[in-house]
Amino acid sequence: MTDYSPPVESRVAVVTGAGSGIGRAVARLMLADGYRVALAGRREALLRETADGHRNALAVPCDVTVADDVERLFEATRRQWGRVDVLFNNAGVFGPAASVDEISLADWNATVAVNLTGSMLCAAAAVRAMKAQQPQGGRIINNGSISAHSPRPRTVAYAVTKHAMTGLTKSIELDGRAFGITCGQIDIGNTATEIMDTIGVGSGALQADGSRRVEPMFPVEDAARAVLLMANMPASASVGSVVLTAAGMPFIGRG
């Protein structure tokens, strides 16, 4: 097992879902911290907005549900910079508002494809790169959700995929030990991004008792700082799980 910890200015990160939201905030903070960052997402124009001309940013259009796209993403990163030190496995969708008896199979499969299969494909490509490079090793950070602990009403597909993300995180951490690969998960609640508008957090989110409640939110830059902290830990330490929520949000004691 390696204890290789390269200086930040030589580290290479891949950030999926980098065109908006948490992914954009994390990518920009990593660039500001000295990382070389491959920005992955479906829309190249948004990736270039995230990069904002930064010389250490590489925009790579990628659909994480397509295995060939994911392989091209990691090939492009290694071709540009020679290795992969960090993957922020962030791409995801909220999916439809539906209970288990209402959701269509197509909507279920589409949510699973992005949130779970896409995360697996990116993690697999990252692990292969981290095993093959010299020195071996690296860190994977999976973006879960507080829905990995306590679901919102009518979010069956999202909640199931985020619970499954926890299993993926633990499996990667276990299987990566011999190769200096660590894996942790950050479960974020109510950071101010576009997805919060879709579920009405700022105007009245559906609660377990059927009521609607305006919930507090916190700046996405604070979430990005937590991800950077996980990324910058020395190889001798692994942050397995972080739960980060807006102060006062109805999470502990939901219902």
Cα dihedral 198, 204, 206, 207 sign: positive
Q: Is 4 considered catalytic here?
A: no
Catalytic entry in 35, 74, 81, 158: 158
Q: Decide if 64 contacts 70 (C-beta within 8 A).
A: yes
- Give the span between the Cα atoms of 10 and 106, in whole angstroms: 43
Paired strand residues for 213: 205
**What does the block give as tokens for 203?**
């105007």
What are the E-state strand segments in the chain? 12-16, 36-41, 57-61, 86-89, 138-143, 181-189, 205-206, 212-213, 241-245
Q: Decide if 161 contacts 115 (C-beta within 8 A).
A: yes
Residue numbers annotated as active site: 158
